[in-house]
Amino acid sequence: MDREQKEGNNLLRIATRGSALALWQAHHVRDQLRQHHPRLQVELVVLKTTGDRILDRSLAAVGGKGLFTKELEEALLDGRADLAVHSMKDVPVELSDRFALPVILEREDARDALLSCHWSTLAQLPRGARVGSSSLRRRGQLVRLRPDLQVTLLRGNVDTRLRRLEEGHFDAIILAAAGLKRLGLTARMVDCFAVSDMLPAVGQGAIGIETRAGDKATQHWLKPLHHESTGQRVTAERTLSQAMGGDCQVPVAGHAWFSVDHGMTLRGLIVDVHGHELIEAEATGRPDDPVALGQRVAAQLDQQGARQLLQRLRADLHANLSS
């Protein structure tokens, strides 16, 4: 459909998952579109993804982050939807050339948050406390801070995870602060991890909008929603992860921020799930060349043996899955 036809129809359809957080994000995009284009009609196409259906295994065990985007991308390709709204931390860094990510919205808090019904800080948790998380990245960094903790798999949407905490299955859980804030659940956060203690996932806190690669009409409608500085930060982080072959099967973390001198700093980290090995690197570069910055930090990690560590981590994962 060309731009003139699209503007004549004044209709965009948003593919989204059905969780409370995904619907909040889709409604947020819908509201921004209506604010910039008052005559535009926007409809939601709610889909259930494979990642939403499989909750008893880690993402690393069942195929990775693409499980949260596959069905939404299929809706783009078969014409049921014009755009898909994602949490950027769930979007694989290897994007098919059939799709584009033309818009990244302004970032929320990128940190990880601690939630507990009985304790207010990580230090207060008793020895051997059970902490729920689905993330290998969080697990590796957490056990470096508190080697005595038992980190146990916790999957599901935010409501499911909170219910499991309240039922006493865990002493604490870790969730992204951004999602809790967007859902009005800030009061449930007892503490937030400093980025220096728990480096966030690549893209965490940012919302991305995916379209068909050649759909210039939809991209025309979406253009006012793009937040340039967030896009620069996320591009640097995703470049780093892509250069490292990052996916949810290996714990790669990356976070970019703007420096006092108006440069952009990127820190990257790779840690094994037991917290025994950690490699990190940091560099500052030009915000208008985030790809170069991501590649530079990836090269620094590589020089420290990151690629060999990732190979060992993947081998360990495959051995565990086949045993």
Does 50 or 8 have the greater pLDDT score?
Answer: 50
Torsion sign (Cα): 179, 29, 107, 282: positive
Does 181 or 9 have the greater pLDDT score?
Answer: 181
SS3 content of the chain, % helix, strand, coil (to 5): 40, 25, 35
CA 297 to chain centre: 19
| Cα(224)–Cα(310) distance, integer angstroms | 39
Mean pLDDT over the full length of the chain: 90
Q: Which domains, ranges and CATH numbers included, belong to the chain?
A: 3-105+206-226 (3.40.190.10), 112-192 (3.40.190.10), 234-322 (3.30.160.40)
pLDDT value of position 108? 98
List, edge to edge, every strand of the sheet that includes 207-212. Answer: 41-47, 11-17, 83-87, 207-212, 99-104
pLDDT value of position 260? 79
pLDDT value of position 9? 65
- In sequence order, which residues have a C-beta less than 8 Å from that of residue 70 and are 6 or more positions away? 49, 50
Phi, psi of 306 (to 5 degrees): -65, -40
pTM, two decimals, is 0.90
Q: At what angle do helices 20-36 and 158-166 cross, to 10 degrees?
A: 140
SS3 for 227? coil
Kindly name the residue from 52, 90, 171, 191 that is annotated as catalytic. Answer: 90
Read off the pLDDT of residues 135-193 as tens digits, 9 standing for 90 and up. Answer: 989 999 999 999 999 999 998 889 999 999 999 999 999 999 999 999 999 999 999 99
With a cut of 90, say whether residue 280 has pLDDT above it.
Answer: yes
Read off the pLDDT of residues 188-238 as tens digits, 9 standing for 90 and up. Answer: 999 999 999 999 999 999 999 999 999 999 999 999 999 999 999 999 999
Look at phi and psi of residue 31 and say left if phi exceeds 0, alpha if psi is from -120 to 50, else beta: alpha
Give the pLDDT band of residue 259 (cuts 50, 70, 90): confident
**With 0-12 CB in 10 A as exposed, 13-18 as middle and 19+ as buried, what is 302?**
middle
With a cut of 90, say whether residue 1 has pLDDT above it.
Answer: no
pLDDT value of position 109? 97
Q: Could you tell me if 238 and 207 are in contact, meaning their C-beta atoms sit under 8 angstroms apart? A: no
3-state secondary structure 35-57: HHCCCCEEEEEEECCHHHHCCCC
Q: Stretch 9-32: mean pLDDT, rounded? A: 95
Read off the pLDDT of residues 127-137 as tens digits, 9 standing for 90 and up. Answer: 999 999 989 89
Give the pLDDT band of residue 58 (cuts 50, 70, 90): very low
Q: Could you tell me if 257 and 264 are in contact, meaning their C-beta atoms sit under 8 angstroms apart? A: yes
pLDDT value of position 6? 46
Q: Could you tell me if 236 and 259 are in contact, meaning their C-beta atoms sit under 8 angstroms apart? A: no
Q: Stretch 20-35: mean pLDDT, rounded? A: 97
Least confident of 46-55, 58-67, 298-307: 58-67
316 catalytic per annotation: no
pLDDT value of position 140? 94
Q: Could you tell me if 117 and 162 are in contact, meaning their C-beta atoms sit under 8 angstroms apart? A: no
Amino acid found at 53: R
Give the pLDDT band of residue 35 (cuts 50, 70, 90): very high
Q: At what angle do helices 306-322 and 290-303 cross, to 10 degrees?
A: 80
pLDDT value of position 251? 79
Q: Stretch 263-277: mean pLDDT, rounded? A: 93
